[in-house]
Amino acid sequence: MKAVIAEMPAKWIQERKNSDISQWDEMWDGVLHMPPIANGMHQDFALDLGGYLKRRWAKPNGGLVRLEVNLTTPEDVETWTKNYRIPDMVLLDRARLLIDKNEYMVGAPLVVVEIRSPGDESYEKLAFYAGLGVPEVWIFHRDTKAIELRSLGQDSGYIVIPAGPDGWHRSSATRVAFRQVTSGKIAARVNDDPATDEELPDS
């Protein structure tokens, strides 16, 4: 169920902040968006995927993997709290490390990862990520782990990267690949090296 409130009462905002739920809230051009809370399945997958990418991709390449980052635009940096999104995960290569300001990031990560939960706004965020110039967006469906790798096209929209004949969805930005194993589980691989294969989530 979606609900649109023209003006949030100050009391409601304060109650939400006091409950710690607001850590996942986003501001879209001054409009408060309150996504559904990530359940255990969502969190477990995010931690396992993030851990794999940190070990197998970020550390060997001098990159960075971060979970739940406040991501804003260069134009909004002075007032970033009025316009930001919170991806489930971002990947930075060495050349992009400077966008990390610790409390927030300014500009385009190499990859944005969204774990799609029922009722969230993963697809609605694509225009924001395209405006930043994020080269790739990876969307994993929370319950099935269905894989969508999307690459930024010339028309500033995202094009789905199809799986190869072998079933692997390959990221050209990172050389990380994913393949559906069963409903609810995927395999990950780096540089087409079977020695890096792991199934996620790992439980």
pLDDT digits (tens, 9 = 90+) for 156-175: 799 999 999 999 999 999 99
The answer as to whether 146 is a domain residue is yes
The answer as to whether 95 is a domain residue is yes
The answer as to whether 191 is a domain residue is yes
Residues contacting residue 143 through CB under 8 Å, at least 6 positions apart:
41, 184
From 197, 188, 113, 198, select the one nearest 149 (Cα to Cα): 113
Dihedral, CA of residue 141, residue 142, residue 146 and residue 147, to nearest 10: 60
The answer as to whether 29 is a domain residue is no
Enter the pTM of the model: 0.84
Domain that holds residue 131: 36-200
| Span 61-85, pLDDT tens digits | 999 999 999 999 999 999 998 999 9
The dihedral region occupied by 25, where left means phi > 0, alpha psi between -120 and 50, and beta the remainder, is beta
| CATH code of the domain in which 166 resides | 3.90.1570.10
For residue 79, what are its two tokens?
């007032």
The answer as to whether 22 is a domain residue is no
Specify the number of domains making up the chain: 1
Residue 138 has what pLDDT?
A: 98
The answer as to whether 16 is a domain residue is no
Residue 149 has pLDDT above 70, yes or no: yes
- Do 200 and 52 form a contact (C-beta atoms < 8 A)? yes
Residue 7 has pLDDT above 60, yes or no: no
From 109, 129, 115, select the one nearest 173 (Cα to Cα): 109
